[in-house]
Structure 1
Amino acid sequence: MTELTKKSGRSVMSLALEACRGSVDDAGMNLSEVDGVISYGFNNDSVSSQAVATALGLPAPRYLVTTEMGGQAPCFLIMQAAAAIEAGLADNVLVYRALNGRSGQRVGTAKVPGTGPMMRYPAGLVAYPQIIAMWARRYLIETGRDESDLAAVVSAQRLWAVDNERAMRRTLMSEQDYARSPMVADPFRAADCTTEADGACAILVTSRRRALDLRHDPVVIEGAAYGTGKRSGLDAGDAMLWPDLTRNYTTHIAEQLWSSAGMGPRDVDMAQLYDCFSSSVLLALEGLGLAERGEAGRLVSSGATVPGGRLPVNTGGGLLAEGYLHGMNTVYEAVSQLQGSAGKRTVPDARSCVVTSGALTDGSALVLTRETRN
């Protein structure tokens, strides 16, 4: 993972190459062994996997995929890499995300795709904070909860960010500090919104057999799922057709995810949950069965998710505090934790983690475990 900045002064290609080379070097593998590259971009804000494979000088790439996806992509593309390896289409696959998301094209201030001259959104919902805020308010109404649940998420993740040198927001946030944060789209304040960043992140996926010969204890993909419910739509505005704005895709994929892993919500030691906005954490905790309906806020407020808690959540500060690499750094944090390389914030004896990608109608998730070599 590269440094996260507000202005990198570098090309997206340069960031992608640094992350990819760093990933392969960290594993103790030679670049010549890499034969697959997968990536994703959003509104042409990145560089293609084929271009990166060329710039890396890969001798014989045979699996190159570039997708136009958003935050639902990271876990989904890790799944694709694993499937390609299982199918014999590649041996060692890099999955990366690179963008100048602060100094270049910014997701948070960009017009939602599909909101052109056809007046698709006469109500004025043309930006992601506006759309997801509607989900957050509906959730609070239906569960009888209030903004203090959102504040609890923000405060808890700032506690983790203090010890994360990469994090762009490292100051603690009290309830009073939260209340002073400017309103963006009710009920979201600025503190509830992700921190846009310039940077890149890469994950190397390989076979278990090869992983056992590399530098670190392997992190095993124990289970995985991607899915959506009915009427997920073609763009973010179509998400308003979703029949229940108080539950997101995690509700629909939870059974498949836990079944594929042969585990349940109580079996994981931590969770790294996609948090483009604070409410996404609450919906994922409940959708995955980590908290009962309407109880996610109480779980976070109880201290269960902070350092020393029984279920650490977003241990790098999450996208809210660390920075927004479109969720790829959420997977990175999970791997770092399970390999024991997260520094002061490393969760002692953690051997399993659930990771999510996505906030609204479609998304993906992984269950990861650490395998210790004899």
Structure 2
Amino acid sequence: MSTIAMRGAAAVVGVSELHYRRGEAPHGEMRMTLEAIVSACADAGISPRELDGFVSYAGGAYDGAQIGGALMVDEVRWSNMMWGGGGGPVAAAVNNAAVAIATGQAECVVVYRAMAQSDTGRLGYAKYFFGSHFLAHGVGSPAQVCALRTQRLLEHDGVPREALRALVLAAYRHAQNNPTAQGYGKPLDEQTYESSRFITEPFHLYDCSRESDGAVALVLVSAERAKTIRPDAAYVLAGAQGAPGGYTSIIENDEQYSSAGYAGSAGRPGVADRLWAAAGLGPDDVDVVQVYENFSGPAVAALIDHGLAPSGPAAGAVLTVDNLTAGTGKLPVNTSGGNIADSFVNGMGLAVEAVRQIRGTSSNPVANAKTSLFIGGPVAPVVSSMLFAHEDVL
């Protein structure tokens, strides 16, 4: 099936997000997963037994057969896991659900992710992920690998250090209007940001994402059914995933060392190019953005890769606190507070916020938002992004 046939074929009609401070989840991952899915179904006005497709990513523990059995669904027709490391394939997971619906493999698909420190620990020292050439030199965490690439972005490409700070400060500014955000009631200013300790240079404490427990779920159905369920459904306009040849954070000799993984190479289109081609739109058509920021640097690189900001020193004129803030800027980013100031359940909460912007129910709504871009985890072996849209855009 062509990418044009995929355009707007499926829509998100139900969402749910549960998150708690690190180590404070009241239940384990299985129960939280079920609670999130049941809540998302209630949000969509459907019975959980209608679910027939299940998609997750990043090695989550519970497959469709387990979840479907626990929910007593009528039939499991689609069950898969998106591989690729960390939050890179989070948007790909949502797109995979849309693919299942568009091709008739399933009719009602849920995408989910849960994290609980008591069950599985954190995504910390990643010896399963990084090769021996990293580990032999004491590099074994996502922060360290992303710091190396971010330093290249700053020194070689000339992106101003202030662009990273602006992304963080805008996230905290948004969190002050979101009562469920972990950064709520804790405004951040430039002095506090700059005086915070380095985690791994150039990342200060506040450049790093939260650690949270919780579970998130999104329910998708066909466009035809979505129109009967809710008038504010978020349609999947386009999605893309992958990585250009020679690029992966597993190795250290990439041609595009400061890219976040979405840009093309050697004259070939990249993930971002394929996203825009499938959507029939471009960066200038985006009303609001949710970008996965495990750390601020890769998020800035992802915005550049998608054409939302120029590379080099000119990035500083676009990536300012005011321009990244809903209500004042042309490029509102991470309007719930994002992974940095709201919560981190492997980035899935950003997808929920992307849907809320289409619905107009965000705590920091962008006026008349018709398109909502969701960018998955940058600097991962596989990256992905997705464009949600209101029915008016179809």
* Selected match of 1:92 from 100, 104, 108: 108
> Residue in 2 aligned with 1:289?
307
* CA offsets 1:74-116 (integer angstroms, 9 cap, x no match): 2101111111111111001000011115885111x32331558
Q: Is the 8 A contact 1:41 1:47 kept in 2?
A: no
Identity of aligned residues (%): 29
The Cα RMSD (Å) is: 2.0
> Residue in 2 aligned with 1:274?
292
Q: Is the 8 A contact 1:220 1:369 kept in 2?
A: yes
Q: How does 1:106-145 map to 2 (within 5 A)?
A: 106-107=122-123, 109-114=124-129, 121-145=135-159
Once residues 358 and 41 of structure 1 are traced to their aligned partners in structure 2, the CA distance between those partners, rounded to angstroms, is 11
Q: Is the 8 A contact 1:49 1:66 kept in 2?
A: no
Is the alpha carbon distance of 1:346 and 1:283 closer, same or farther for their aligned partners in structure 2, counting shifts above 3 Å? same
> Residue in 1 aligned with 2:342?
322
Q: Is the 8 A contact 1:34 1:58 kept in 2?
A: yes
* Selected match of 2:324 from 278, 282, 305: 305
Is the alpha carbon distance of 1:203 and 1:12 closer, same or farther for their aligned partners in structure 2, counting shifts above 3 Å? same
Is the alpha carbon distance of 1:169 and 1:158 closer, same or farther for their aligned partners in structure 2, counting shifts above 3 Å? same
Once residues 309 and 133 of structure 2 are traced to their aligned partners in structure 1, the CA distance between those partners, rounded to angstroms, is 39
> Residue in 1 aligned with 2:254?
242
Once residues 392 and 163 of structure 2 are traced to their aligned partners in structure 1, the CA distance between those partners, rounded to angstroms, is 37
Which has the larger displacement, 167-176 or 195-204?
A: 167-176
* Selected match of 1:15 from 19, 25, 32: 32
**3-state DSSP of counterpart to 2:110:** strand
**Aligned partner of 1:12: which letter?**
E
Q: How does 1:181-192 map to 2 (within 5 A)?
A: 181-192=196-207
Deviating beyond 4 angstroms after TM superposition, the runs of 4 or more aligned structure 1 residues are 101-104
Once residues 241 and 281 of structure 1 are traced to their aligned partners in structure 2, the CA distance between those partners, rounded to angstroms, is 21
Determine if the alignment matches structure 1 residue 353 to structure 2 residue 366. Answer: no
Q: Is the 8 A contact 2:241 2:382 kept in 1?
A: yes
Which has the larger displacement, 205-214 or 358-367?
A: 358-367
* CA offsets 1:46-93 (integer angstroms, 9 cap, x no match): 433321111111121111113444211221011111111111110010
Which has the larger displacement, 271-280 or 161-170?
A: 161-170
Once residues 33 and 300 of structure 1 are traced to their aligned partners in structure 2, the CA distance between those partners, rounded to angstroms, is 44
Is the alpha carbon distance of 1:46 and 1:287 closer, same or farther for their aligned partners in structure 2, counting shifts above 3 Å? same
> Residue in 1 aligned with 2:6?
none
**3-state DSSP of counterpart to 1:4:** strand
**3-state DSSP of counterpart to 2:152:** helix
**Aligned partner of 2:353: which letter?**
E
Q: How does 1:150-299 map to 2 (within 5 A)?
A: 150-170=164-184, 171-233=186-248, 236-238=249-251, 240-251=252-263, 252-294=270-312, 295-299=314-318
Q: Is the 8 A contact 1:81 1:205 kept in 2?
A: yes
Once residues 13 and 127 of structure 1 are traced to their aligned partners in structure 2, the CA distance between those partners, rounded to angstroms, is 27
Determine if the alignment matches structure 1 residue 75 to structure 2 residue 94. Answer: no
**Any stretches of 5+ residues in structure 2 without a counterpart?**
1-16, 264-269
**3-state DSSP of counterpart to 1:2:** strand
**3-state DSSP of counterpart to 1:77:** helix
**Aligned partner of 1:289: which letter?**
G
Give the TM-score, by structure 1 length: 0.92
Number of equivalenced pairs: 365
Which has the larger displacement, 20-29 or 287-296?
A: 287-296
* Selected match of 1:340 from 336, 356, 360: 360
**Aligned partner of 1:245: which letter?**
Y
**Aligned partner of 2:288: which letter?**
M
Give the TM-score, by structure 2 length: 0.88
* CA offsets 1:295-341 (integer angstroms, 9 cap, x no match): 33431226111121112111011111111111111111000111112
Once residues 138 and 115 of structure 2 are traced to their aligned partners in structure 1, the CA distance between those partners, rounded to angstroms, is 28
Once residues 194 and 112 of structure 1 are traced to their aligned partners in structure 2, the CA distance between those partners, rounded to angstroms, is 20
